[in-house]
Amino acid sequence: MTYIGIIITYTLVQNLVLVDLLGLYSYVNVTRRLDSAAGLGLAMVIVMSLAALLTWVIYHLVLLPLGITFLQILTFLLIIVGLVQILEMITKWSSGALHSSLGSYLPMLTVNCAVLGIALIAVNANYSAFESLFAGFSAGIGFLLVTVVMASIRERLDLEWIPKPFRGIPIAFVSAGLMAMAFLGFDTAFLRNLLG
């Protein structure tokens, strides 16, 4: 697939949160305020890109040649956990400001479905190394987009008169559902028309 195709697919057409329903736990818990949502989204972009690339490396250079692809879940998870730990150390070491904005969200990403999800998707789709990196990056951008929009909606919703059983999580999910319906407009036909 072309790179433009990859970007549009994982940002809009197959947005990991709204279409694949991955990463919901952090999506629902961290989007109450715009700044925390933006922090999470940015951390996601970094982690997803690197995770997609590193898992490609492990899959194609270690698992495939040795014929032990059944170990992919275990190895991918080890890579992701290690990656997040390394990022945490680096952000803490390099800049206090970066650490206080991104650092608190990194532990949440160790066992996040979206990060493992994009790794598995990229491997199943047989992307090359650079395409995997791109796919991870686009998935992260898609996640950032959706969390920022959701946080804005939820901040406004806090001021509205909402029936008591709906306050908090339920109305957030209904809003997410409406957003997902809006994103239905981005489908493969759209992709084909855009790219010919």
Residues forming contacts to other proteins in the complex (CB under 8 A) are 18-25, 28, 58, 62-63, 66-68, 70-75, 77-79, 81-82, 85-86, 88-90, 92-93, 100, 110-113, 116-117, 120-121, 124, 159-161, 163-174, 176-178, 180-181, 184
Pick 174 or 195: Cβ nearer other proteins: 174
Nearer CB in complex with other proteins: 64/195 = 64
| Shortest reach from residue 78's CB to other proteins, in Å | 6
Place of tokens 């072309």: 2
Q: How far is the CB of 159 from other proteins (least distance, A)?
A: 4
User: DSSP string covering 119-157, please?
Assistant: HHHHHHTT--HHHHHHHHHHHHHHHHHHHHHHHHHHHHH
57 or 195: whose CB is closer to other proteins? 57
- 8 A C-beta contact, residue 44 and residue 169: no
Q: Which of 135, 132, 153, 134 is nearest to 16 (CA)?
A: 135
Helices (H), 18-128: 24-29, 34-58, 64-66, 72-94, 96-102, 113-124
The CB density around residue 128, as the number of other CB atoms within 10 Å, is 11
On whether the CB atoms of residues 92 and 99 are closer than 8 A, the answer is: yes
Nearer to other proteins, 100 or 128 (CB): 100
CA dist 79 and 45 (Å) reads: 16
Q: Which is nearer to other proteins, 113 or 149 (CB)?
A: 113
Residue 129 CB, shortest distance to other proteins, in Å, is 19
Q: How far is the CB of 81 from other proteins (least distance, A)?
A: 6
CB of 196 to other proteins, least distance (A): 27
